[in-house]
Structure 1
């Protein structure tokens, strides 16, 4: 399984720290050329590989850590997203009318036609996401939601590998609504830094 992070701002870099902590290789790309990202990627760890957008999009699982207004441009980067799993880590504050009245991840799924889209890792701030999720007696929680049930299991497995405790909230418009921003309104679980005790 290959991984990529599109977007290398605070959240993209925080995710990269999580991968580096477990020596898992991940490609990172943004609107900037790879040579601009390379020094920061190297500083995070040797398994963080700065690359072009087209090269990063060859990965099986892609974390979307871009601004909501950039989704339309990124979605055009591939003629088909079939076979890709996209993890939407963004919190969109775009008006609902700009997203066809859909929850942001449902709108992302519509834009990236053919992809399996999972909402996840979006409820933690960058500093919490970058920190070691393993704490005395437990693990930091990450919430996951998707309209594609088969897509959640491998993302949950990766979350566990990264040291998190994944919690599946179900479909976007069911439990997933708890971690979606709707215009200026934040879902009640966004920014909740929760832990699950070890069994």
Structure 2
């Protein structure tokens, strides 16, 4: 039986990706088998190959799509470098808090990518880092920011902002807006001239 009755490519394909995402985030890429993914979806293991050539491709597709969506969702707003940096910080937190499993996989499973896939993901990550670095350089030029190294500052800011996902729980003592405001204040003080 290759396909479950009522199964459709436009329904089952996303279910395969969602199941892989949940299982990779919960157990780690190396510990998850295609059989486990198939069982989670409710199809025979062989049916998965109608939707993906292999587990590596599933991991790569999840990471690539996450980064492409992140890049597409960020548009530099009009305004000063300070305004742009605030918008970047708030956007980064909002975007990532809504996708904790993808964030976990995007950082923790890089080691499991084959070299050619790793190169693609690294290039996408660099594009995102470069967007922040451009804001920081504009702030340096306007003397709004005092940074010894804009690249290092960009990496440090992204690491700090992404770290929210390691501890944040919906319904906790701080609302999302409060977290955005506190993190923005910390970033603003870290780059202040």
TM range (shorter): under 0.3
Q: TM-score, normalised by structure 1?
A: 0.25
Larger Rg: 2
1 or 2, which has the higher helix percentage?
Answer: 2
Instruction: Between the two structures, name the one with larger relative contact order (CA 8 Å, sep ≥ 6).
Output: 2
